[in-house]
Amino acid sequence: MLVDAGLSRREIAKRLAAIGEDIARLDAVLITHEHSDHTTGLPALAKAGGGCLPVFLTHGTARYLEWGESAPKLEMFQAGCGFSVGDFDIASFTIPHDAADPVGYTLTAQGIKVGIATDLGYVPDSLRFHLRNTDLLLLEANHDLEMLRVGPYPWSVKQRVMSRRGHLSNEVASGFIESDLDSRVSTLVLGHISEHNNHPELVRSMGLKALDGRALFTRLFVAEPGVQSEVFCY
């Protein structure tokens, strides 16, 4: 399964091949929300699959996507609902972001649970609930507040990013790790890092300090912009 398709189909295929996976073997694509950095490659990806590749997304998100000549096989659901794809039990949950109907996901198979929570302006109580008992967690650490304030974005964009429907700052991500990260998490991936308003070393320093404060032995991995990560095996 692929979660989001913000790169071109060619780039997605290239990165899958780099880890020994064939794009033609995809069984499904899960979409979190309609923003272009999550859906740019989706129409070509679905078309190349002959329109048979299932695309899972909320009803609200589906209304904001354009498919061109023909739409793929859409599996629409209500945010908060769960469903299965092959051996995976998938749960969706609403996240606070400035999109039509954005969701995060947890995917569970063979006793292993993976959580994906990016593109959210703050951490609601519901997120803490959904991310319980997670083994691997991808969490957003989008921006450093001071870098954002003095950075190149227009003030209106800065306000959007800092809002409760924007993106998680390093500070807020740190607070979640210190207070609410489930002790079961064995690998924490901090990602969706802004290229202009953050730096991987700032994120790494923040993450390690927050984990040290909890005396957790969680492994920290920082997903750097434009760099393919390693493969996480369980």
Instruction: Please give the structure tokens belonging to residue 122.
Output: 């703050």
Burial class (CB in 10 A: 0-12, 13-18, 19+), 46: buried
pLDDT band for position 93 (50/70/90)? Answer: very high
Q: CA-CA distance, 194 to 148, in Å (whole number)?
A: 9
Neighbours of 53 (CB within 10 A): 20
pLDDT at 56 over 90: yes
Q: How many residues does the chain have?
A: 234
Residues 106-161 pLDDT 10s: 999 999 999 999 999 999 999 999 999 999 999 999 999 999 999 999 999 999 99
Q: How many CB atoms lie within 10 A of CB 10?
A: 11
Q: What is the pTM of this model?
A: 0.96
- DSSP structure class, residue 188: E
Q: In what order do the strands lie in the sheet with 2-3?
A: 2-3, 29-30, 55-58, 74-77
* pLDDT score recorded for residue 200: 98
204-222: per-residue pLDDT in tens? 999 999 999 988 889 999 9
What is the rounded average pLDDT for all residues in the chain? 95
Residue partners of 169: CB distance under 8 A and separation at least 6: 141, 142, 143, 144, 145, 148, 162
Query: Do the beta carbons of residue 138 and residue 115 sit within 8 Å?
Result: yes
The four Cα atoms 20, 23, 27, 33 give a dihedral, to 10 degrees, of 110
User: What is the separation of C-alpha 96 from the centre of its chain, rounded to a whole number of angstroms?
Assistant: 13
Region 160-183 average pLDDT:
97
Q: How far apart are CA 180 and CA 131, in angstroms?
A: 9
Are 202 and 158 spatial neighbours (Cβ–Cβ below 8 Å)?
A: no
